[in-house]
């Protein structure tokens, strides 16, 4: 992506099709709905969401650990297995 111009409050950017596809969440430029002239891409909102997620990483990790512990408590307990001697079987 390259800045090729500027207006009063904005930049004019040049981006190839792959870069635009990546910006809107696709791996490549192939396929439908990969961007067209006139589309607006909410880069600031996407950045903010990723920034906020990264800032909450420790809290998310703590929640993950708590959920794993809760899952372990909720696992079904196998029925009690009693080993019988041959004498007890008769």
**Per-residue confidence band for 59, with pLDDT thresholds at 50, 70 and 90:** very high
CA 49 to chain centre: 11
- How far apart (Å, rounded) are the C-alpha atoms in residues 43 and 17? 16
Evaluate whether 34 touches 20 at the Cβ level (below 8 Å): yes
Beta bridge partners of 2: 14
Q: What angle do CA 13, 54, 50 make, to 5 degrees?
A: 35
Q: Would the pTM of this model clear 0.85, i.e. be above it? A: no
Average pLDDT value for residue range 9-30: 87
Over residues 28-54, mean pLDDT: 85
Structure confidence at residue 77 (pLDDT): 62
Answer yes or no: is pLDDT of 39 > 60.
yes
């Amino acid at each position: 992506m390259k800045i090729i111009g500027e207006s009063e409050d904005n930049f004019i950017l040049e981006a190839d099709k792959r870069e635009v596809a990546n910006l809107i969440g696709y791996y490549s430029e192939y396929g439908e709905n990969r961007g067209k002239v006139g589309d607006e891409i909410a880069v600031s909102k996407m950045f903010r969401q990723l920034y906020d997620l990264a800032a909450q990483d420790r809290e998310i990790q703590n929640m993950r650990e708590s959920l794993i512990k809760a899952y372990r408590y909720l696992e079904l307990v196998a029925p009690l297995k009693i080993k019988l001697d041959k004498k007890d079987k008769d």
